[in-house]
Amino acid sequence: IINNYLDRTQEAAVDKASPSGMHFRDSKRKVDYVLAYHYRKRLSRQPPGVGSPAPTRGPASLALVLNGGTAKGCAEPQRQDGGQCALQERPGTEVIELSPLDNLEEEKRLQREEYEHNLVEAGLEIEKDTENKSQGLSFVRIHAPWQVLSREAELLKIKMPTKKMYEITEEGGLLKTLNEIWCKLTEPLQPQVPQQENTKMKSLSYPFSREKIYLYNIKDKDTFFDNATRSRIVREILKRTPTKARNSMGIGTLIANNVYDAAYPLHDGEYEGQNDDMNERKLLYREWARYGVFYKFQPIDLIRKYFGEKIGLYFAWLGLYTEFLIPSSVVGIIVFLYGCITIESDIPSKEMCDQRNAFTMCPLCDKFCDYWNLSSACATAQASHLFDNPATVFFSIFMALWATMFLEQWKRLQMRLSYFWDLTGLEEEEEHPRPEYETKLLQKKLKKKPTTTENSNKVEKEKLTWSDRMPGYAANFGLILFMIMLTFSAVFGVIVYRITTAAALSFSTNEKTRSNVRVTVTATAVIINLVVILILDEIYGAVAKWLTEIEVPKTEKTFEERLILKAFLLKFVNSYAPIFYVAFFKGRFVGRPGHYVYVFEGYRMEECAPGGCLMELCIQLSIIMLGKQLIQNNLFEIGIPKLKKLFRKLKDDRTEPKEMDTNQSKDPQQWDLDYILEPFTGLTPEYMEM
């Protein structure tokens, strides 16, 4: 069923019928998914009295089943392809016609019609905006009826709760008493979420089957599948619905070809405001997604219900990781304070700072550098003791044990959540072929063009072989090797910068400049390293994704595993190459007086400070880690999405044609508000950040 908004009067009726923007025009069928696209048309005007040519319907046009009414002033024979209409006023007025702008726009329109027709054939119900302007943004709203939901849930083996309920009992004793005391102490930190209050009753879940529908606790077919499950089912259909044009497979290919701009499920409504209409989104914002409730525990069950199991597991892992950072931070502060307290009793620092020990050191450069006294490096030696003292040995052992305890605790929590969320068969559900793999396989079949039935049956069973994947593997090997060499080249470039800058500053006539050469060179070099790391991080993330795509992995699980491996390898080398150089290699290739090692003619290899390279390593770690947190994880992840959202809103407002009266404009619906949000790109970058 395709319902066409024919004019602004009907759109106003939609607004009144569906004030929340979550349902179709009938206020009964829920919007499960939205497709958005921009269109452009040629606006032609004819003088009064000149008749327009009779429109013809193309063979690929989609017959629209209209849900009530026709366009104002539009007779049935005047309707154009795709439900368009030649708007004809009273006799004596000019005629305005909307036609495709060019062949590319016409091709996109035909692809959209074919794709939407195939969605209807798959059982989905669709509601569309009318394209009654020369250009604009149009939405296709999709609803999955019960027949489609039950069919796909059975195909995907989605576990659903049955009528069988049982109570989860806890053993008594000391642990139960301690747990009750802990719950009372942490009661102010618990989120006020109704879904988390009753956790002692659990439903027995079973993969959905239409033949055994009597087993399931179905009170209302419209609410049996939650929003996350409905969106997931529709997404699977969108990913596997083909179009004949360009042999494309699924919504991903159509978005890549700019046939559609976006495909997304709807949020549950507004999250701000003081009205009594409470929804899950507003509840999450009030109890979780605000800076003001940072001290509260996470409503993990509600997060899982709203976003799905994968995102729920991510935030469960992140919450446990944050909790475990508290004891490690406390121990780290204690170790640092121990270094501050014992700095006066540190024997190496005392000997270096003692003015009576006149240790004369060799010049740091061959020209313009004089001999210097070891006591001038007193401050560096004392600062190194703050981070390199006997307590740091204990801290390193503690962190090794901490990592082991964290992993074991996460395994326990993961098994617990898997039990409560019925995720024991998650791997089985994820083994469906990716649309890109099916598209590649389809292209391979079309190239062979079998002539006999026997050959046709043989082709149907074919898979992508090593020869098909070899170009992708070769590109992976070559580009990854090139990227690693690029990282090493960047590190070497910074080393050359440090050596040449140190030599240049040593020529300065300003005594203060010469005395602070080491600090100046270290700080500026680390900042350069940070900028290079941030730039290469973004490049490597895009390259890793592209390299994984050209490999054409068969399943989503394989795709994610290969993407994580490539991204981790490239970003690990990028982030830690300069740190490893300072920690393990700097100062080991200097040489000795009379036989120094030179990088270039006249430039000696750099060496560590008299107190060692640890202080420089701490500066490098601090600037790189804090810089990445402040710039990459705050500016990039918070600021840039907000700027993109603002840019998309301004772009849509600017390109919106002024053909309609402003009095006829409608209030933005939920699909309008969600369209300007930043699209979800997956959890791989989030795990990589951690």
Domain boundary residue, one of 266, 287, 304: 266
Task: Name the amino acid, one letter, at 214.
Answer: Y
The answer to whether the CB of 192 falls within 8 A of the CB of 287 is: yes
pLDDT digits (tens, 9 = 90+) for 405-464: 999 999 999 999 988 888 876 555 546 677 777 777 777 777 776 554 445 444 455 677
Instruction: Give residue 487's pLDDT band: very low, low, confident or very high (50, 70, 90).
Output: very high
**Single-letter amino acid code for the residue at 451:** T
Residues counted in the chain? 690
**Residue 69 parent element (H or E):** none
Indicate if the pLDDT at residue 31 is higher than 90. yes
Q: 326 to each of 315, 513, 625, 688, how far by Cα in Å?
A: 17, 41, 18, 21
Among the listed residues 152, 156, 682, 242, the one whose alpha carbon sits nearest the alpha carbon of residue 441: 242
Count the domains in the chain.
2
Q: Alpha helices, DSSP H only, in 552-634? A: 556-580, 614-627
At residue 86, the pLDDT reads 40
Indicate whether 311 belongs to any domain.
no
* Adjacent-strand bridge partners of 340: none
Predicted pLDDT at 93: 45
Element (H, E) at 39: strand 33-46
In this predicted structure, what is the pLDDT of residue 658?
52
CA distance 368 to 689: 46
Helix, strand, or coil (residue 600): strand
Per DSSP, helices labelled H in 449-516 are: 453-460, 466-506, 511-515
CA angle 55, 40, 137 (to 5 degrees): 115
pLDDT at position 268 over 60: yes
What H or E segment, with its residue span, contains residue 352?
helix 347-353
* Residue 647 covered by a domain: no
Strand, helix or coil for residue 241 = coil
Report the pLDDT value the prediction gives residue 247, as an integer from 0 to 100: 62
141 pLDDT band, cuts 50/70/90, is very high
The whole-number pLDDT of residue 45 equals 54
Instruction: Provide the residue type at 686 as one letter.
Output: E
* Dihedral, 144, 147, 151, 152 alpha carbons, nearest 10: 0
Question: If residue 111 lies in a helix (H) or strand (E), which one and from where to where?
Answer: helix 103-121
Q: Which neighbouring-strand residues pair with 372? A: 361
Residue 591 lies in a domain: no
Confidence class for position 618, pLDDT limits 50, 70, 90: confident
Q: Which residues contact 685 (CB under 8 A, 6 or more apart)?
A: 541
Q: Is residue 122 part of a domain?
A: yes
Both tokens of residue 98? 């909307």
Buried-state track 228-242, b at ≥16 Cβ within 10 A, e below 16? bbbbbbbbbbbbbbb
Hey, what are 505's tokens? Answer: 């500053």
- Is 225 contained in some domain? yes
Q: Is residue 126 in some structural domain?
A: yes
7 and 647 in contact (C-beta within 8 Å)?
A: no
- With H, G, I as helix, E, B as strand and everything else as coil, classify residue 222: helix
The answer to whether position 512 is within a domain reads no
Q: Go through 538-558 and write b for each residue having 16 or more CB atoms within 10 A of its CB, e for each that does not.
A: eebbebbbebbeebbbbebbb
Beta bridge partners of residue 612, listed in sequence order: 609
Residue-range definition of the domain harbouring residue 448: 434-464
Write the CB contacts of 631 (distance below 8 Å, at least 6 apart in sequence).
530, 534
**What are the pLDDT digits (tens) for 532-566?**
998 998 899 899 999 998 888 888 888 888 998 99
Of the ranges 499-513, 552-566, 624-638, which is most confident? 552-566
Q: What is the mean pLDDT of the chain?
A: 79
What is the rounded average pLDDT of the residues 206-233?
A: 90
Last residue of a domain, one of 415, 445, 464: 464
pTM recorded for the entire structure: 0.77
Closest CA to 92 of 44, 51, 49: 49
Classify residue 530: in a domain, yes or no: no
